[in-house]
A and B are shown apart, each in its own frame.
Chain A
Amino acid sequence: MSKIASFEELKALQVAERAKIAVRDGQAPTPANLAKHHVLICAGTGCSSSNSMEVKEALEKQLVEAGLDNEIDVVKTGCFGFCSLGPIMVIYPEGTFYHHVKVEDVAEIVETHLKGGQLVDRLLYDIPGQNKKAPDMSHIPFFQKQKRVALRNCGTINPEDINEAIAHDAYQGLGRALTSMTPAEVIAEVEKSGIRGRGGAGFPTGKKWKFAAGYQAPEKYVVVNADEGDPGAFMDRSVLEGDPHSILEAMAIGGYAIGAQHGFIYVRAEYPIAVHRLEIAIAQARELGLLGENIMGSGFSFDVDIRLGAGAFVCGEETALLTSVEGKRGEPRPRPPFPAEKGLWGVPTFVNNVETLANIPVIFTKGGDWFASIGTAGSKGTKVFAMAGKVNNIGLVEVPMGTTLREMIYDIGGGIPNGKEFKAAQTGGPSGGCLPASALDTEIDFDTLVAAGSMMGSGGLIVLDETTCMVDIAKFYLEFTQDESCGKCPPCRIGTKRMLEILDKITRGEGTMEDIDNLETLARTISSSALCALGQTAPNPILATLKFFRDEYEAHIVDKTCPAHVCKKLLRYEIDPEKCKGCTACARNCPVEAIEGAVREPHKIDPAKCIKCGTCIEKCRFGAISRA
């Protein structure tokens, strides 16, 4: 590959490369690539871990055997989002969506679909409640309300091939910025888009760039925060795995805007696929001259290095991240000075989150106005959520800002499984809160979530149903925060420990009403005195659950019961003598011999011996045993 010498060359390359994958746009093959079908297989972490790459290998092998390898292109892609259905395969030009594809299914796909032109019915998605199969993605409700901007190329291109990225407009925004805009105009365009940081705090990105641009320094840095740490969150990972060039392009645009020539991507070592694809992307971009000296003949030079994080949640905090990039123990430092003034190695720096940057190239191809036309008054564009928990459709969801929780959970998420009742939606991860059913119609954006008592965070969305104990949930998050506290300041180091101990005491049924006061006092102290946002927001899971579910706390303390039947110490297992047939299954399986009773006589549980493991409930075929 020779270096791209001008923006014009890049534009020409885009047209040529797009023609090669016209089939994926539903069109006939072009002379540039005569393959009739493009079979896309998700190579994201989720699908890969359920053997999607083995499926790909099997398919390639069978295509060779069938002599079809010249007619069919097999392509690995980034994440489609519907992760609970993995491995996912999409076949173009039809757009057929197959799920849970196994190696054993490959022969049938080749025979029936690729040779025979018929769909493999059993691998198609059942549209819930319609008794109908979805022939393609547009018929699947999960995808219908989504709008993919940040994830636009995830699931459409091979992330390890820069030409496919170029076909899908990669580096066009950079080309436009470098050839027709001044750095100030670049920043103005980002400001016009209204985009706010997707990493948690929602700080306006344009403003951040403007600050960093405002400090004069011979050396400046662009840093990407890919240290995604919220439990269950994987939007940044998916972008890096599915569309790494969007990040490199955005970094270069940002570098041009603030006057930086070097960027660092700080990515978790636990994301090996993302790191691998980033390495490939950087090498390919350098080869084409899209990174390095004199990019597209513009005179602007920019290059990128990767730094691996060692798995500390706190390194997602920007100053801790910078400290870690510098090779020191990842700990936050007080601001001011802000990174825009004194960042990496003391020079002006901006730190942007992956999802934020994934949006930047589009702002330069479609315009800041276009971006600002999506979303709400205060929050523009879309937001990617990692939806998990007690919801039917688990996966990655990108929706316009302003979509309601109800649309997210019921329309896209397909509602709560097993006919259970919705209890709360947890947003914002360990810094966020739980919103009750009354908040279901809140139009989600940065500000409404805060007003409702939670926060956007990086986009975790965990759905909780009636079987979730809210005290236990608060405890889960505090355990996480305490584990991940860097220890630098006492409020976080010791304060979160004390809160956790109180929660533990309450879930053991040993709490007092004074403990609630102490929790509130501690929460106030910690949020007002902790050094970084991790500590300051650590009490949020407690404050939010106290706000909306105080009665559950009181039930644990006053009535010594756990209304959701979760907290073991407060559970009592009982056998209903009316229902018990005396089959002895429970007694035989009880690991501690806590159940007694004669054959065909109602059995009894000795509460002194019972360890509340739940085995008896599982073994009882008559529904005679209950937790109370």
Chain B
Amino acid sequence: MEMVNVMIDGVSVQVEAGSTVLQAAQKAGINIPTLCYLKDVNQLGACRVCLVEVKGAKALQPSCVYPVREGLEVYTNTAKVREARKGVVELLLSNHPSDCLNCVRSGNCELQQLAHQMGIRKVRFTGEQSTFPVDDRSVAIVRDPNKCVYCRRCEAVCKNVQGVNILGGIGRGFNSIVGPAFGHALDEINCTLCGQCINVCPTGALAEKDDTQKVWDALADESKHVVVQFSPAVRIAISEEFGLPYGTISTGKLVAALRRMGFNKVFDTNWSADLTIMEEGNELLDRLQNGGTLPMITSCSPGWVKYCENHYPEQLGHLSTAKSPQAMFGAMVKTYYPQTDGIDPASIYSVSVMPCTAKKYEAARPELCDSGYRDVDAVITVREMARMIKQAGIDFVNLPDEECDAPMGLGTGAATIFGTTGGVMEAALRTVYEVVTGKTLPRLELEDVRGTMGEIKEATIDLDGTPVKVAVANTLARAKEIMEEVKAGTADYTFIEIMACPNGCVGGGGTPIVDALTRTKLPEDYRALRAKGLYNDDENLPIRKSHENPFITAVYENFLGEPLGHKSHELLHTHYTPRKKYNLECND
């Protein structure tokens, strides 16, 4: 690795050639403030907050994109630099609603942090403020362009990480904002509602649609029997909201918190994840044996499903008809559960806690009413759940560990790894292998399918002489690569797992927001740290294969009959809808 010597504020540091001044400064112990910069996502040099003086350069230079070279001399804290940065932030504030007190991002807003850091007590520049309409039409994402600082991080993540590319700069001058073309709303276009844009937004311009009040109302309604499920990644991600280290498993504390909030039953989506493996695994075997459409592709990730409906409507036959764990849970909690507990299904209000914004859309799908009711009544993200716990005054960190309720509260290690890329594949293979071969897997950990952010993994599993080739992809940009192969007929896989979000659900659009500085300071990508937590959880759980979950065995014995049976088809399988890219009247 070629190293170069640079001088930052008189401190000499050696950094790799190709680094930026921003990186060199961090090495010299200086955190240059940034706004549009986001590691691995956005390097534009646009916001002008990270300006520095470079010796020999006429103008101030953006440190996030300025390349180092041997002998470079940089000054990060001169009067000129401070004045320019402060002026820029004041200008941003002069066109930003001063509603920090009631903004969803108060406390973790990067603009607020900058204003505070620069000691801005008065904004010298005042004038017209933007008055764009707020787009709150979709069920999952609220876009408030008036809070947009035009950092373009959402555009970058949507275009480069997700490959969906629905956000871009529109308008000119003072009216420039990021948004869908022609000012369309998110529900009018091919937005997958994956929520990655929210995770990268430094301000409150993008947020999940807040459904917490719906849940509070249900909890306060004595006629309602309120049950809750929480998905695999939630037990890890929730920890960060309470200051616990990345990757901490907080299942027990979360259960305790949910009980204290007043939920009548606290269940676990891991249970229905195991159920999903039973159905999806058997569906794969059925397709293999009976000449069904292959490769079969997972359908747990609602962002991915919507993407497939919008972009590959003719390929929907590849999607597993098995519902996602959230949806299976929803159907079962208003059919199977009342039977076991003698509760009127009409009184059940079913809440799910998800690392995902697209799950709000999934729950609202008209086809997900197989219980005779809306299967899932409210979906809240990890962020919303954390806010509710804080609103309830619960001292999360010091809660005792508690266990979920029966009969839908026990999940296996196979279920818990659903929360990271490759997890569904690994869980499915653990079961399919044993079902097909009748042998015990020699080693449960299938490292070949464990990927990292934006990676496509391939593996071939030997099912007693039958090689089965599988692929695992995360992010929609990678999904597109796979789907182009599927479309061309060149994908020689039997089974494919696709997760919409980077690194799977641990990188979901409903997980805690990690600010730009933290992203650069963490020793590893925060999503990889969360995934490690899930793998630890798997290793520590007593049962690690879905088909060995006694509560799953019980549900088949007592209620469903057999996988892919009549009742399963009625409650646990679904269909998909071919969609055009644009849901507009001018479509044709």
Within 8 Å of chain B (Cβ to Cβ): is A294? Answer: no
Question: Which 8 pairs, one residue from A and one from B, show the smallest C-beta to C-beta distance?
Answer: A487-B176, A525-B87, A334-B45, A485-B173, A529-B84, A501-B127, A494-B91, A497-B174
| Apart from the given pairs A491-B87, A491-B91, 6 other A-B contacts in the complex at a CB distance below 8 Å | A483-B172, A487-B174, A494-B174, A522-B125, A528-B84, A531-B45
How far, in whole Å, are A525 and B125 apart by their CA atoms in the complex? 12
Q: Note all chain A residues with C-beta closer than 8 A to B80.
A: 528
Q: Is A235 an interface residue (CB 8 A)?
A: no
Chain A residue at minimum C-beta to C-beta distance from B48: A529
Contact with A490, one of B48, B168, B172 (Cβ below 8 angstroms): B48
Residues of A within 8 A of B174 (CB): 482, 485, 487, 493-494, 497
Task: Tell whether, in the assembled complex, residue A497 and residue B60 are in contact, meaning their CB atoms are under 8 Å apart.
Answer: no
Q: Does residue B292 face the partner (Cβ distance < 8 Å to A)?
A: no
B67:A490 contact, CB within 8 angstroms: no
Q: Which of B53-80 contact A (CB under 8 A)?
A: 59-62, 65-67, 80
Interface residue? A393 (CB, 8 A): no
Complex alpha-carbon distance, A493 and B173, angstroms: 5
B177 to chain A: closest residue by CB: A487
Within 8 A of A (CB), among B110-129: 124-128
Q: Are A487 and B91 in contact (CB under 8 A)?
A: no
Count: A-B pairs, CB below 8 Å: 115
Q: A493-B150, A521-B87, A521-B124 are in contact. Are A487 and B173 (CB under 8 A)?
A: yes
Asked if B124 and A334 sit within 8 Å, CB to CB, the answer is no
A430 within 8 A of B: no
Contact A525 B84 (CB under 8 A): yes
Contact present for A529 and B172 (CB under 8 Å): no
**What count of chain A residues pass the 8 Å CB interface test?**
35
Contacts of B59 in A (CB 8 A): 528, 536
Question: How far in angstroms is the closest Cβ of chain B from A336?
Answer: 6
A152 to chain B, nearest CB (A): 35
Given contacts A333-B45, A494-B94, contact A525 B83 (CB under 8 A): yes
In terms of DSSP, what is the predominant structure of the interface of chain A? helix
Who on chain A is nearest to B64 by CB?
A334
List 7 A-B pairs, Cβ < 8 Å.
A483-B173, A485-B174, A487-B176, A488-B150, A489-B46, A491-B88, A529-B60
Q: In the complex the two chains form, is B45's CB within 8 Å of A529's CB?
A: no
When the two chains form their complex, are residues A490 and B91 in contact, meaning their CB atoms are under 8 A apart? yes
Q: Counting CB contacts under 8 A, is A69 at the interface?
A: no
- Whether a CB of chain B sits under 8 angstroms from the CB of A588 is no
Which residue of chain B is the closest to A517 with respect to CB atoms?
Answer: B124
In the complex, how many angstroms separate the beta carbon of B82 from the nearest chain A beta carbon?
11
Q: Is B149 an interface residue (CB 8 A)?
A: yes
CB distance from B97 to the nearest CB of A (A): 14
User: Which residues of chain A come closer than 8 Å to B94, judged between CB atoms?
Assistant: 494, 498
Quick one: CB contact mask for A485-508 with B, threshold 8 Å, 1 for yes? 111111101111110010000000
Tell me if A529 and B124 are in contact (CB < 8 A).
no
CB B146 to nearest CB in A, in angstroms, measures: 13
In chain A, positions 17-75 with a C-beta closer than 8 Å to chain B are none
Known: A334-B45, A493-B176, A529-B51. A487 touches B150 (CB 8 A): yes
A490 near B128 (CB under 8 angstroms)?
no
B516 at the binding interface (Cβ < 8 Å): no
User: Can you name the residue of chain B whose Cβ is closest to the Cβ of A493?
Assistant: B176
Asked if B42 is at the interface (CB within 8 A of a chain A CB), the reply is no
Q: Does A233 contact B (CB under 8 A)?
A: no
A334 CA to B50 CA in the complex, in Å? 13
Bound together, the chains give a CA A354 to CA B463 distance in angstroms of 69
Q: Is B400 an interface residue (CB 8 A)?
A: no
Which of B46, B85, B127 is A497 in contact with, Cβ under 8 Å? Answer: B127
Cβ of A530 within 8 Å of any chain B Cβ, yes or no, is: yes
- By a CB distance below 8 angstroms, the chain A residues around B44 are 333-334, 488
What residues of A have a CB within 8 angstroms of the CB of B47 in the complex?
Answer: 489-490
Nearest chain A residue, comparing its CB with the CB of B45? A334
